[in-house]
């Protein structure tokens, strides 16, 4: 049996192929990698493939799921923790199994969040542009010591806790908000407070919660106005957590020292693609990237060899479990009962 993987990046491919060769090769199955993403236009490529492996930006709506099911797909193995791109009720109704990667290296995302925070605090992108032009003036590049200031961590699971440990290493005070307190964060001295208090008191706010109906636009106009003047906001979780239009309004008012975003609420059809020669009809994003104190990366926080390797091995294990009729904690929609 051939297993089809969509949206495979060039430097991801050898890690994915090695993981599948080890896991399913002895079972007589092989992996074929495509660099195109899965959407309504490419779903026909999966015809005859029982197992389809998808990236986080695949479009798995009603139309695509119906096309996959009609073509014989029984398992969707997503190479990510997030699954807000999959219409799970439709998949269940079609009798499809859906699995994800429930955990991988939390350090990959936490460290990238800190890369964004530090770059914003010390105006690294602006400084790099100047020095490329042999302009070595430092006016306008003044940052702040993070030591002794307050980091607010919204979402204190594995990634949020890793972010908090780094903040603790900088000598920062820690505030947290989550549905449950993390004992590891409490040991660091984190104080859990209502989100309004966290926003009002934090010099640096980093988002590490999943995107759900309850957390969509968690950082809205009111939340942004509640933040301290001169604060830094970082989002490496899901773009929909932030009301981007409201964020642009606050940026125009000069409210923040910096904003670091690895995700964007309208990134579908943009991120992971080369749009450098295209006209991008997104006024909000176009305005966002013009601010000198805003740094946007293309959903790459997870993208380390360590994390991607773990994702590949877990995805391959999910496929093996499906073929063997087993169910693990990674299964979102189980195989229908015989």
pLDDT confidence tier of residue 277, bands split at 50, 70 and 90: confident
- Contact between 311 and 77 under an 8 Å Cβ cutoff? The reply is no
Q: Is 319 helix (H, G, I), strand (E, B) or coil?
A: helix
- Catalytic residue (choose from 12, 265, 267, 313): 267
pLDDT-derived band at 53 (thresholds 50, 70, 90) equals: very high
pLDDT > 90: what percent of the chain?
A: 92
| Confidence check: pLDDT of 47 > 90 | yes
Average pLDDT, integer, range 44-56: 96
Please check the confidence at residue 255 and state whether its pLDDT lies above 90: yes
Annotation marks residue 126 as catalytic: no
Please report which confidence band the pLDDT of residue 278 belongs to, taking 50, 70 and 90 as the band edges. confident
Average pLDDT estimate for 257-284? 90
Looking only at the bridges linking them, the beta strands covering 75-78 and 294-296 are unpaired
Question: Which residues of the chain are in CATH 3.40.50.720 domains?
Answer: 2-104+304-333, 106-296
How far apart CA 266 and CA 282 sit, in angstroms, is 9
Q: What is the mean pLDDT of residues 203-214?
A: 96
- Tokens at 71, concatenated: 């073509």
Give me the sign of the Cα torsion angle 320, 323, 329, 331. Answer: positive
CATH of the domain spanning 2-104+304-333: 3.40.50.720
Task: Tell me what the mean pLDDT of segment 76-89 comes to.
Answer: 93
Are 139 and 309 in contact by the 8 Å Cβ rule? The answer is: no
Residue in the block written with tokens 């994390």 = 307
Residue 84: its pLDDT value, please? 86
Is 29 annotated in the active site?
A: no
Q: Active-site residue among 79, 100, 149, 299?
A: 299
Q: Give the mean model confidence (pLDDT) for residues 173-185.
A: 98
Q: What is the reported pLDDT for 335?
A: 82
Residue 10, phi-psi category: left (phi > 0), alpha (psi -120 to 50), beta (remainder): alpha
Cα dihedral 175, 180, 185, 191, rounded to 10, equals 30
- What average pLDDT does this structure show over 261-289? 90
Out of 49, 149, 208, 238, the active site residue is 238
Q: What is the pLDDT of residue 73?
A: 97
Q: Across the chain, what does the average pLDDT equal?
A: 95
Other CB atoms within a 10 A radius of the CB of residue 79 amount to: 25
Determine phi and psi for 206, rounding to 5 degrees.
Answer: -125, 135
Structure tokens given for 133: 């032009």
Residue 272: the pLDDT is 85
The pLDDT confidence band at residue 298, using thresholds 50, 70 and 90, is very high
pLDDT band at 279 (very low <50, low <70, confident <90, very high): confident
Q: What does the alpha-carbon distance between residue 256 and residue 211 come to, in Å, rounded to a whole number? A: 24
How many whole angstroms separate alpha carbon 94 and alpha carbon 176? 40
pLDDT for 274? 85
Structure-derived torsion over alpha carbons of residues 60, 62, 66, 69, reported in degrees to the nearest 10: 50
Average pLDDT of 87-101? 96
Mean pLDDT within 279-294 = 92
The string of DSSP codes covering 104-151 is: --HHHHHHHHHHHHHHHHTTHHHHHHHHHTT----TT------TTSEE
Q: Provide the pLDDT for residue 268.
A: 84
- Mean pLDDT within 311-338: 92
User: To which CATH superfamily is domain 106-296 assigned?
Assistant: NAD(P)-binding Rossmann-like Domain (3.40.50.720)
E-state strands within 96-149: 97-99
Section 104-128 average pLDDT = 96
Q: Is 238 a catalytic residue?
A: yes
pLDDT > 70? residue 338: no
Please state the pTM of the whole predicted model: 0.91
Would you tell me the crossing angle of helices 305-324 and 13-23 to the nearest 10 degrees?
Answer: 30
Task: Report percent pLDDT > 70 for the chain.
Answer: 99
CA dihedral of residues 163, 169, 172, 178 (deg, nearest 10):
30
pLDDT tens string 122-153? 999 999 999 999 999 999 999 999 999 999 99
Query: In this model, does residue 5 exceed pLDDT 90?
Result: yes
């Amino acid at each position: 049996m051939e297993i089809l993987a969509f949206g495979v990046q060039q430097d991801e491919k050898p890690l994915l192929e090695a993981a599948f060769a080890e896991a399913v090769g002895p079972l007589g199955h092989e992996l074929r990698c495509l660099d195109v993403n899965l959407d309504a236009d490419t779903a026909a490529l999966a015809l005859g493939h029982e197992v389809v492996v998808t990236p986080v930006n695949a479009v798995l709506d009603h139309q695509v799921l119906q096309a996959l099911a009609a073509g014989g797909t029984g398992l969707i193995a997503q190479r990510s923790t997030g699954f807000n791109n999959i219409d799970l009720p439709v998949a269940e109704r079609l009798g499809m199994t859906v699995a994800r990667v429930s955990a991988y290296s939390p350090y990959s995302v936490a460290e990238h969040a800190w890369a964004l925070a530090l770059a914003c605090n010390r105006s690294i992108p602006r400084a790099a542009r100047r020095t490329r032009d042999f302009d070595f003036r430092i006016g306008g590049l003044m940052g702040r010591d993070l030591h002794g200031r307050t980091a607010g961590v919204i979402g204190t699971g594995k990634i949020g806790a890793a972010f908090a440990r780094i903040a603790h290493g900088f000598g920062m005070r820690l505030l947290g908000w989550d549905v449950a307190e993390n004992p590891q964060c409490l040991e660091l001295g984190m104080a859990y407070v209502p989100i309004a208090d966290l926003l009002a008191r934090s010099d640096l706010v980093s988002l590490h919660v999943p995107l759900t109906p309850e957390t969509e636009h968690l950082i809205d106009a009111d939340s942004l106005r509640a933040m301290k003047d001169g604060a830094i906001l970082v989002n490496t979780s899901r773009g929909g957590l932030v009301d981007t239009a409201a964020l642009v309004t606050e940026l125009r008012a000069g409210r923040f020292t910096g904003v670091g975003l690895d995700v964007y609420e309208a990134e579908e059809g943009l991120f992971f693609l080369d749009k450098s020669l295209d006209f991008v009809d997104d006024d909000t994003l176009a305005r966002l990237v013009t601010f000198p104190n805003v740094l946007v990366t293309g959903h790459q926080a997870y993208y380390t060899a360590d994390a991607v390797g773990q994702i590949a091995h877990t995805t391959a294990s999910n496929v093996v479990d499906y073929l063997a009729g087993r169910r693990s904690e990674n299964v979102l929609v189980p195989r229908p009962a015989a």
